[in-house]
Structure 1
Amino acid sequence: MLPLILLLLLLPYSALAASAEKTTLFVNHLYKGNVALEIVHQRPCLQHELLEEWSVMDSQLAEPIWTAEGCLDPQSPALAGEIFRYRADLNMLTLTLPESWFDSLLGGVTTSRWDDGINALFSSYSLNIDRERALSEWDETGVSSTLDFNSGLNVGPWRVRYQNTVWSDPSDHGSYTRSMAIWRSITPLRSRMTIGDSTSSDAVFASLPLRGVSLVSDETMYPNSWRRQAPWITGYARSDATVTLYQGGTQIYRTQVPPGSFTIRDYLPSSSSSSSTITMQVEESDGTEHTSLLPWVSLPNLVHEGVINYEVLAGHYRPTYKSSLPQPVFWQGTLSGGIAQNLTLFGGIQSSAAYYSVASGIGLALRADSTLSLDVTQSQDSGKKTPGRGEVWRLRYAKAFFSNNTSLNGLVAYYPPGSHFHTLGEKISQASYSSASLDNRRWRAELNLSRNFTEDITLTMGWAQQAGRAPGSHTRTASLDLSAVWEEVDISLSASHNRYGHSLAENTVALSLSLPFTFGSNYLTASHVTQVDRAGAVTQGVEMDGTAFRDFSLRYGMGAYTMRNGSERLAGNLGYRYNAGEANVSFENGSQQRALHGDLSGSLMWHADGITAGQTLGETMGLVTMPASAQAGVYNQYGTTTDSRGRLLISYLTPWRVNNITLDTSGMSEEMKMEVSRQEVVPTLGAIVRADFVPALPSVKKEVKK
């Protein structure tokens, strides 16, 4: 496999790229960047993939006629509503199309706009310090701290990433490397190559951390219309707000929404995130935040007709820090192909010392926006600790009810009698003790439902159960979250149920009522919280959260709680967000423990123009430059303005898609005007794209002499 990867690195990418000269393009008065566009007889060559980038629906193109070069023929009736102006001296094209042609769900991007960004070195840091004073003999007293670094280097399309941690506690201290890798996207193959630490996809086999080399398809490079169906994500915002999605603690999506109910239609998970819980954070314009959990189970093996997704990797298992688990060498190969419009076949092979597994399955796109997949995975383990062979059958289903903003996801897995099926991860983790509990499995089922009744009422439900063949070997979990707004009062109801075998069920019900208050331009929320657990123990509390300062950069909160047994707890927090990071302090004073916490986070970036400080950086970033005296912000990065040299870091951008970087000019002087206040950038994965805003030339008024 290594010679193949070396060959891919030497591919003549320039020969694969379009040979057309890049043209400055405006579509419906929106700047679309510099696009590799052929101009034939003073007319633009409008290819299908370019129209798809602009979200033009095929159904709106009346009897399209395509030339041999793949251009929309000028005589085509589809161009009846088109207006264009081309200036050869400026190499600039202005195109106007009917608004009825557009559909935001298509969302592809022509590859000529993909930008690998600038060369730069960066590091995000997070310092956490905790001081605890135990009031009981079984708790520990002392100070502990951790300092996390997420660093990287970008050179052209290459990305170098290094993550490490320095820690200390009352009895010890040390440091360790969490992850290190070098990788790049191979755009002609729509894939990503990684050398070092990575995590395998869970599309076919269970995901595993490894240190080695991998070549994996990246579905996010394809237009949205080519990718698998996914439920919409709905929510509600009181004001102009920023909506951020997190998965596994990693920021995966960010967008701005207007007041009222909103629906996110253009986020689709990567091929390595088929099942996990998504956290949605809605940050209002006054700095207040609302967080909710969204169960997510998608179908990772449904691909567009004619598309082939693959994964090839080899390396050794990478355990967590201080883990004593073995680190066997393994290799894995998977393939998913869209052989028909609504049919996908997929399969794979996974092998390690004394272990072998093979999987195959089929995915179907059904009518009424629903999808179904069925697969079987067989394993053979000849190790001394966990010998055996077996199989598991898995059925997955997803359906989106777009008319009422509802999504339904389900999964059923069945282990036949006598099956000794083990995943490779289970084999590794069970190497030191008996695998009887795994061999006892019978079936497992999951069901998740999300429903947005109105703009003010949202319901999320989840259920999972696993049953074994021996008595008392079943587990069951269920959850319910209901949020509503009534006369400006936020109502939140949550309930959970957990039961393991013959043990008593653990049930918890919590109710929260929140009432907002406004003091000038600042915001305060008062809440009452009630929680009841299995034993009937009641916890009640009062909370207050608010913001201060003109830019809402200061946040504070206080809570007082009392339990049925008479114990009490007092907690408070204070946070400040600034251009170069964020600082927070909090305390907790209870009957059994007193704790004080502080954290400081931010980032530094070294680039051609010097060093710029900013907030914690994500995977794909932006650097905004403008005149030093501008002191402007951007809507993409809440709570920050340009520094003394006119620089600003944008922590998160969506790769392979058009990102609008829009200036917030409310803090700029009247004399400072920009030529444009919005730019479009299309970063590749991991890129640091640069957006330069230049001042408009002052108009010169000539005095006419009489």
Structure 2
Amino acid sequence: MIKFFAAPAGPAAGAVLCLATAMAGNAALAATAAFDARFLHAGGAPAVDVSRFQHADSVPEGDQVLDIVINEQWKGRWLVPLRLQGDALRASPCYSDALLQALAIDRAQLAASVRRQLQPADSCLPLSALGIEASEALDYAGLRLTLQVAQQALLPIPLDYLPEEQWDSGTHAAFVDYRFNLYKQQSLADGQHWQQSFLGLRSGVNTGAWYWRHEGNLQVGDGIEQRYQPIASYVQRDVAAWNAQLTLGESYSRGAVFDSIAYRGLGLASDERMLPASQRGYAPTVSGVAHSTSLLTIRQRGVLVHESTVQPGPFEISDLYANSFSDDLEVTLKEADGNLRTFSVPYQAAPLALRPGARRFDFSLGRWRDSLGNTGVEHLQGSWQQGLSNRFSVHAGLISAQGYQSAALGGTLNSRLGAVALTVLGSQTDSVQQGPIAGHALRMNWRHVLAASATDLSASLTRSRPDFEGFNEFARARVDAGHGRGSQQNARLSARFALSQGLGEQGGRLALQVSQTQRWRQSGSDVGYSFGYFNRYGALGYGVTANREQSAATGHRNHFALTLSLPLGEGSRSSLSSSLNSDGKGRSATSTRISGAAGEHGQWGYGLGLTTSHDEQRNSAGADANVRYSGPGAEISGSLSQQRDYRLASVGAQGALVAHAGGLTAAQSLGESFAIVHAPGAARARLKQAPQVQLDSAGYGVLPQLLPYSLNTVELDPKGTSHEVELQLSSLQVIPRAGAAALLYYPTRSGRSALIDARLADGSVLPFGASVVDESGDELGLVGQGSRLHVRGVRQQGRLQVRWGEDAQQQCALAYRLPETSPANNVATLIHATCEPLQNVAGESGL
């Protein structure tokens, strides 16, 4: 860390400074170097002792925490002994048995004599004495040790393996994450109003390795029952030895072998994110086209998981919280004219194929519950998946409850024709009237990706007998009626086929999907068709979609759309888009809008649009506008829209409040894991990973998203901070556990800055290169060009000592006093001082 900016007192001294700089930057000059100090004599200044410059890159003995990188892979931050070896003038890393184990060095390959030397707990050896093919490079200034180690000397673990010892449980913290949306509509024909508001909450308290969570939402509006809907309350921690998460409270089973079950009780399930990234095996993206400013709601198994206002044209929701459901998402669009459009988005995992030796499990014990908080029968559920080879995996499961048993058994085959998962499920339900009733179902999933032709094919088929009953249907029937069964409402046949086909660099992409559902005791089938083609012509992007939904109960509905998008200028953050929608029965709508981002960090977003609609009875036109501001503590949005017959407005806000040992910090909406950043005094510093986030006046900020069990780098940008505050560290790395609130501390040095023009008592200049220390004995830097000292982090008044040798005659002290206030132009204060001989100030403390 540089405290002084110094330049030579003359041309000759400048040459010497360049030489010294070259020495410090070249590892080859680590041995003793010598140069003639007479080159530094300028203007009659005393000679300076340059012996301390004769050893480049000196490293002191001691134990130091270093970032260790092996074969270009970060292996964590470890305490490394630094020891002098033989006649060496700089200390080098010394490796203990514990450190070698942590770095995954294969100790079995060490010679027996080496292993014996490493047995004592306090012993360590230099790298050269280990007898392995390896090299090291120590960057002491950057606290970084880089190793190149032959593969045969390493344990057979993935290169991206991150040891559990480096996982961060975070600090004690509490938070409330909120999402608010207010939607209001007014009819211009009769003046009637309709209003609806939504508040989604996700709160938590972190205590060590235990993470307490609650999720719920509140809907208030005309014609809506005002009721807070709790979704889940639970406490969770990881069980690293099993690569699993332990959950107590209200949660959900994973939904891999059986359908996901909401329960209140205990759960233990695998979490493959704890594995190295190369060993890991999903929330889907919801997209569509809105004809007008619309209210979008997304539900899963009847639970409201998202609500927001979308503008006319294409939309995409990609920030849904990931969960373990296997149920499809139910999407509803309420258009401004009151028209409702609904569609579903598949939420199913790929076939249950695992790597050889890999395994997943899911266990839960408790009471079944529904989306309204009602509880039902007690149950025990367990499932296991196991990878046997590159081609074959198996899975099985059991569910047991009073009056109900179910079992599943299946396998997955990977072949040249794709991956196929086949599962046979059986159930037995005790009926008061009919006694035990048994049934079975067959479920098949298939996926095939042809990389050479950019083809992605997938299909799923579920077929069940009328006597088969899933556990959720059984539990729901018990809650609703106490007895009886709902198997007649079960799907008899559910099939889906999807194709995504790339057509080359210029050909675009083609998407096709067909689905069919048949139910017992229902004539006909529900069939859906979807077709899309997407491409670009130069900068212009375009897409054509066609959908048909045919219901046995309500008939068929068609939807056709053409979308266009064009960026406004190269590198521009704004774009022009247009869409045309039609139902094939005389109803159509168009939308043309300009949207973009503004601000240095894209914190502002905006959109302006014109819309038209046409049906057999009338035509109408309208306009809409929306704006968004994403600040360090929240994101706020608003929109206005007016058509001939109605006017609507909406306001939205999302963000979080985080309570921690340093106070309360406002933050953007949080992910599963996040970081509390603290740099004392560095107000207005920004996070490079989230440039919209600035540190507050107390030096705190929140990085809203970290990847659990992965290496995250968090960097601070000091631009905008006071010139009287200096970051001593600007980058940190962390591996958070799932749910952790990692505390990242960036030390700073605060104080006044000054440029001191100093002279000896006889008026001569100070020796160039002489060291300058403060009253605590800390070296601040060197005397610079023209006998000037550029100091930072000093008090308003004090005393500095200048040393150019060990004798008292080669030292002097100067007193300084800065003005009460700093210059308004954010520059260092210039003062003049005389450096008195040391004997004249004898007895002064700290010198």
Q: TM above 0.5, one fold?
A: yes
Q: Which amino acid aligns with 2:462?
A: A
- By how many angstroms is 1:319 displaced? 1.6
Change (3 A) 1:198 1:50: farther
In the TM superposition, what are the counterparts of 1:106-145 in structure 2 within 5 Å?
107-134=160-187, 141-145=193-197
- Residues 410-460 of structure 1 deviation map (CA, whole Å, 9 limit, x = unaligned): 222233xx5422211223445559746546714523435364844994444
- By how many angstroms is 1:646 displaced? 2.2
Q: Which amino acid aligns with 1:477?
A: G
Which residue of 1 is the match for residue 244 of structure 2? 191
Q: Aligned pair 1:635/2:671, yes or no?
A: no
- By how many angstroms is 1:185 displaced? 0.9
From 424, 430, 448, give the equivalent of 1:382. Answer: 430
Q: Which amino acid aligns with 2:628?
A: G
- By how many angstroms is 1:114 displaced? 0.9
Which residue of 2 is the match for residue 316 of structure 1? 367
Higher mean C-alpha displacement, 26-35 vs 270-279: 270-279
- By how many angstroms is 1:344 displaced? 2.4
- By how many angstroms is 1:207 displaced? 0.8
SS at 1:327 equivalent: strand
Partner Cα separation in structure 2 for residue 166 and residue 624 of structure 1: 31
In the TM superposition, what are the counterparts of 1:116-515 in structure 2 within 5 Å?
116-134=169-187, 141-170=193-222, 173-228=226-281, 272=324, 297-299=348-350, 301-321=352-372, 327-366=376-415, 370-383=418-431, 388-403=437-452, 406-415=455-464, 418-429=465-476, 435=486, 437-438=488-489, 441-449=492-500, 451=502, 453-454=504-505, 457-467=508-518, 472-501=523-552, 504-515=555-566
Contact 1:522 1:548 in 2 (8 A): no
SS at 1:118 equivalent: coil
Partner Cα separation in structure 2 for residue 490 and residue 376 of structure 1: 45
Partner Cα separation in structure 2 for residue 681 and residue 661 of structure 1: 8
Which residue of 1 is the match for residue 783 of structure 2? 702
Q: Which amino acid aligns with 2:147?
A: L
- By how many angstroms is 1:205 displaced? 0.6
Partner Cα separation in structure 2 for residue 84 and residue 523 of structure 1: 46
Partner Cα separation in structure 1 for residue 497 and residue 111 of structure 2: 50
In the TM superposition, what are the counterparts of 1:516-527 in structure 2 within 5 Å?
516-517=567-568, 523-527=573-577
Which residue of 2 is the match for residue 25 of structure 1? 68
Contact 2:466 2:488 in 1 (8 A): no
Q: Which amino acid aligns with 2:211?
A: R
Partner Cα separation in structure 1 for residue 283 and residue 642 of structure 2: 43
- By how many angstroms is 1:388 displaced? 4.0
Contact 1:43 1:86 in 2 (8 A): no
- By how many angstroms is 1:610 displaced? 1.6
Higher mean C-alpha displacement, 604-613 vs 426-435: 426-435
- By how many angstroms is 1:587 displaced? 2.5
Q: Which amino acid aligns with 1:663?
A: L
Q: TM-score, normalised by structure 1?
A: 0.75
Change (3 A) 1:638 1:247: farther
- By how many angstroms is 1:551 displaced? 3.0
Partner Cα separation in structure 1 for residue 676 and residue 559 of structure 2: 46
Contact 1:586 1:597 in 2 (8 A): yes
Q: Which amino acid aligns with 1:194?
A: T
SS at 1:618 equivalent: coil
Change (3 A) 1:517 1:148: same
Contact 1:522 1:549 in 2 (8 A): no
Contact 2:488 2:521 in 1 (8 A): no
In the TM superposition, what are the counterparts of 1:524-603 in structure 2 within 5 Å?
524-565=574-615, 566-603=619-656
Structure showing greater radius of gyration is 2
Q: TM-score, normalised by structure 2?
A: 0.63
Change (3 A) 1:318 1:440: closer
SS at 1:382 equivalent: strand
SS at 1:567 equivalent: strand
Contact 1:115 1:683 in 2 (8 A): yes
Q: Aligned pair 1:93/2:136, yes or no?
A: no
- Residues 163-200 of structure 1 deviation map (CA, whole Å, 9 limit, x = unaligned): 34444334664434332111111111211111111011
Change (3 A) 1:158 1:456: farther
- By how many angstroms is 1:598 displaced? 1.1
Q: Which amino acid aligns with 2:495?
A: R
User: Structure 2 regions of 5+ residues with no counterpart?
Assistant: 1-62, 83-92, 119-126, 286-297, 307-320, 332-343, 751-778, 788-803, 805-809, 811-847
Q: Which amino acid aligns with 2:371?
A: T
- By how many angstroms is 1:98 displaced? 9.8
SS at 2:474 equivalent: helix
User: Structure 1 regions of 5+ residues with no counterpart?
Assistant: 1-19, 53-60, 234-245, 252-268, 280-292
Partner Cα separation in structure 1 for residue 328 and residue 712 of structure 2: 26
Partner Cα separation in structure 1 for residue 422 and residue 100 of structure 2: 37
Change (3 A) 1:670 1:273: farther
Partner Cα separation in structure 1 for residue 284 and residue 614 of structure 2: 42
In the TM superposition, what are the counterparts of 1:61-80 in structure 2 within 5 Å?
none
Higher mean C-alpha displacement, 461-470 vs 540-549: 461-470
Contact 1:333 1:348 in 2 (8 A): yes
Higher mean C-alpha displacement, 347-356 vs 24-33: 24-33
Change (3 A) 1:162 1:596: same
- By how many angstroms is 1:271 displaced? 9.1
Q: Which amino acid aligns with 2:525?
A: H
Which residue of 2 is the match for residue 56 of structure 1? none
- By how many angstroms is 1:117 displaced? 0.8
SS at 1:690 equivalent: strand
Change (3 A) 1:640 1:406: farther
Partner Cα separation in structure 2 for residue 464 and residue 24 of structure 1: 53
Higher mean C-alpha displacement, 526-535 vs 159-168: 159-168
Which residue of 1 is the match for residue 742 of structure 2? 689
Partner Cα separation in structure 2 for residue 204 and residue 145 of structure 1: 37
Change (3 A) 1:21 1:469: farther
- Residues 180-226 of structure 1 deviation map (CA, whole Å, 9 limit, x = unaligned): 11111111121111111101111111012111111112122122343
Identity %: 21
Change (3 A) 1:471 1:145: closer
SS at 2:694 equivalent: coil
- By how many angstroms is 1:470 displaced? 6.7
Partner Cα separation in structure 2 for residue 559 and residue 317 of structure 1: 47
Q: Which amino acid aligns with 2:368?
A: Y
SS at 2:459 equivalent: strand
